[in-house]
Structures are given as structure tokens and as C-alpha cells.
Chains A and B, each alone.
Chain A
Amino acid sequence: MTIRTSITVNGKETSREVEARTLLVHYLREELSLTGTHVGCDTSNCGACTVLLDGEAVKSCTLLAAQVHDCNVTTIEGAAQADGSFSPVQEGFRQEHGLQCGYCTPGMIMASTALLSENPNPSEEEIRQALEGNLCRCTGYEMIVNAVRWAAEHPNFTSGGAK
């Protein structure tokens, strides 16, 4: 069975005729070619597929595209600021080297963005709790926590445009 699904992604309205079983992550990657959202474990453990759904962090491998019909989704491609500057979280990951291979990074950035929108000044413990659904096999998390702290300390960061 196919169904018409309309989702606002990164502020742009999208609409596709997809199979009912299409997962949100495949809608994003294959229908919209937004491949920044990664498939890691594919079992809602690793968090690489984390996107924002109406501002909340969710795992897009465990949602049907049909379920988020008429909702707002933000992916890593929509994380940057309107003028093209990195968001404070993105810049924090750059400044503090919050990544090595980069596979988990889009999910980490979206989950961290959700955390800071709810709690702009989280403690180290709160950051670790908020990111418990995001696995990283490279960094040992230390630099990821530092990256989120950097973002919390620079909420008004802007580079004055795209680099």
C-alpha cells in the first residue's frame, strides 16, 4: 500500500507517494536525498538517525514517515543558522573536536540541540544523561561533552555567514 505523506523538512514542505512501511530515515535519505541523517544500528539503540520532530529528538529509524505526516522535521542539513553560520552546537563540535570518524555526529548534534533548547545550561551529568541514547565508538564522549558545554557557553555564536 502506498500513501501520500507530507512532511515539512528543514522548513520546506515535502510530499511524496511512499509505501506505508517507509521509515522516516529512508524518507529523508532516499526520497529527499538528505543523507546527513545516518542509519547506524537500525534498532533504535545508537541514535545516529536522531532528528528533531516538532523540536524534540527522536530516532527516525523507528518512526514511519506516515506517522509524522503534517509534522516539522529538522535534520543536520537544517541545523545551521539562517545566514549559513554553524549553529553553536555545530561550532562546539568543531572547536572541541567532538568527533573522530563523524558517523554519530549528526545524531549527536541533533540530540544536543534538543537538550540545549530545553536546558540552555546543562551540567556535565545532564549532558551525559541527555546523550545516553547516542553511541560514539571513537571519542570516549569526553570531547562530545566539552562540545556541548562550549555551545552552552556561546549561545549567540555566529561566524557572520557561511564559510
Chain B
Amino acid sequence: MIPAQFDYVEATSVADAIRLLAEHGDEAKLLAGGHSLIPLMKLRLVTPATLIDVTHIKELSYIKEDGNNIVIGALTRHRDIEQSELVKKHLPLVAHVAGEVGDPQVRNRGTLGGSLVHGDPAADLPAAALATGATMVIAGQNGERRVSAQEFFIDFLETDVQPGEILTAIEFPKHTDAGWAYEKFVRRAMDYAIVGVALQLGAKPGVALVNMSNKPHLAQSASQAISKGAAIADVLAVINDNTNPPEDLNATVEYREHLARVLTQRAFATASK
């Protein structure tokens, strides 16, 4: 399978990428690791007129400590996040989930920012960003703006990144020494989750669900219940509030709701260890 024809330009800095986005208009797509975009292009589900390759913008690949935050550059690869001592210490959920994406070859190429802007409700990292309360830093011609993970995901494969803009960094509040768990239910090792649950306990708890809605889903009622110290049964009672799970060959809506409860219960058991 070969992608349709496109023009290819390389951006060497964030400013350069923003300039090229303005120049090429909304028929252009940014290319980072390419592990979501290129498969879609090979299937010709996506046919951008121009690819703006941001792979080599070094300034967007970093992991750093900034006060109470860990800030990760949008082009940081899953493999670097998975292996980072800083992330493992302060955001063990994020480090673990980065290691759950695809397989080693995919993690060597795929980027955190790429996975988030792709906005796939079945992907792992958006759930981790929601559960940990991350903030997205988006740059455009009018400068920089910040959006919470919850506001960032708009609909199926749609995020708040507007034409002409680029996600540059993700700010995660530290969750040092807090309980956490990621439960992913799959039929085969590398599959997308049929349902997944990302659970962050501690001072700022959050629980997010994978593949339970048309977008990456923060289970708001359940997150609030956890922060009020509710019993697990009470959290489970509201875990499926406002979900909109897909129905497909793998699972009916009822089965997905069942899985969300079971996996959340397991996540609590793991996180409390």
C-alpha cells in the first residue's frame, strides 16, 4: 500500500513549522513519528496535499522538571518516556502507559504529541494525559496557549489544535509516590484496547477510560468520587456516566460497560498495593 501523492517539506524549528502551516493551509498535515498518520495515508483514508515533516525539530524532544510539573516535549518518543527516570519517579502511570503503546519498533518512532493530537479514543496515552490532569501547550501565529487535557479532546480524531497550530509540549503535574494503575483489555498482545482504564490516585486523582466514547474520555463523576474518598463500589456505580462506547465485533456496549467496571476495580486493587 502506497500513500497518495503529496508535497513534502521539512520544518527545522517550531517557528518554521508555524510559517509552513500558514503557507500551505489546511490541506497540510504535520508529520511527526508518523505511526498513526502514515498507516492512514497508506489506506488512503487521509490524503494531505502537503506533509510538513517536524521529525527533526530537536527543540521539541525533551523531558524536564519545572517546579511541580514534568514537562515533555511533543516530539519525545514513547521509548524515551518509558525509560526516563524522571518520568518513572514522578509520573509512573505515564511511563508505564508509554511502554504499552504498540511494540518496541513503534515506540522507537511514535511521539507523545503525535499520539495526543491524533485523538484516538482507543489509544493509550490520551487516557494517561487525562487521568494525570495534563495541560497541552499549543503554539500558533498568535503565540502560545494552554488547554487542559479534558478540553483538548473534542471528538473522534479531533482535538483543539486549530489549523496553523502545533502542539509543542505537555505539562504534567507530578504524581510522586501516589498509587496508579493501567488496565488494558486486549484479545492479542499488540491490539488496541477493547477497553482500558488509567487510574491516578493521590492528591489530584483522576480516572480515564480508553475506547469508551467517541473521544478519549475522562470519567468525571468517578474522578470526583475518588477525590471525595468514596468507596470503590460508589466509584464503580458512576464509572460509566456520560460514556458513549462503540459497538463492534469485539464487544457490545453492555460488555464494554461491564469491562469498564471490572477493569476499574482491578485498577484500584493494583493501585492500592
Contacts and interface: CB of A to CB of B under 8 A. Distances in A.
Nearest to B43: A43
Interface string A56-99: 11110011101100000000000000000000000000000000
Nearest to A50: B105
Dominant SS among interface residues on chain B: mixed
A107 to B, nearest CB: 9
B5 A44 contact: no
B38 interface: yes
Contacts of B266: none
B105 A58 contact: yes
B26 to A, nearest CB: 19
Given A20-B8, A67-B55, A43 B39 contact: yes
B190 A64 contact: no
B42 interface: yes
Contacts of A63: 34, 38, 109
A57 B109 CA distance: 9
Contacts of B106: 44, 59, 133
Given A58-B105, A59-B105, A45 B5 contact: no
A57 B34 contact: no
B246 interface: no
Nearest to A107: B105
A139 to B, nearest CB: 17
Contacts of B5: 1, 19-21
Interface string A105-122: 000000100110000000
B222 to A, nearest CB: 31
B104 A133 contact: yes
Contacts of B7: 1, 20
B29 to A, nearest CB: 13
B162 interface: no
Interface residues of A, number: 31
Contacts of A130: 104
Dominant SS among interface residues on chain A: mixed
A111 B105 contact: yes
B51 A132 contact: no
A133 B42 CA distance: 19
Interface residues of B, number: 29
A109 B10 CA distance: 32
A110 to B, nearest CB: 9
Contacts of A115: 104
A19 B79 CA distance: 30
A59 B39 CA distance: 12
A137 to B, nearest CB: 13
A147 B6 CA distance: 42
B55 to A, nearest CB: 5
A53 B6 CA distance: 24
A21 B5 CA distance: 6
B102 interface: yes
B42 A42 contact: yes
Contact of B104 (A1, A23, A42, A111): A111
Contacts of B8: 1, 3, 20, 64, 66
Contacts of B105: 44, 47, 50, 57-59, 111, 133
Interface of A: 1, 3, 19-21, 23, 26, 42-45, 47, 50, 53, 56-59, 62-64, 66-67, 111, 114-115, 129-130, 132-134
7 contacts: A21-B41, A42-B42, A43-B1, A58-B109, A59-B106, A64-B53, A67-B53
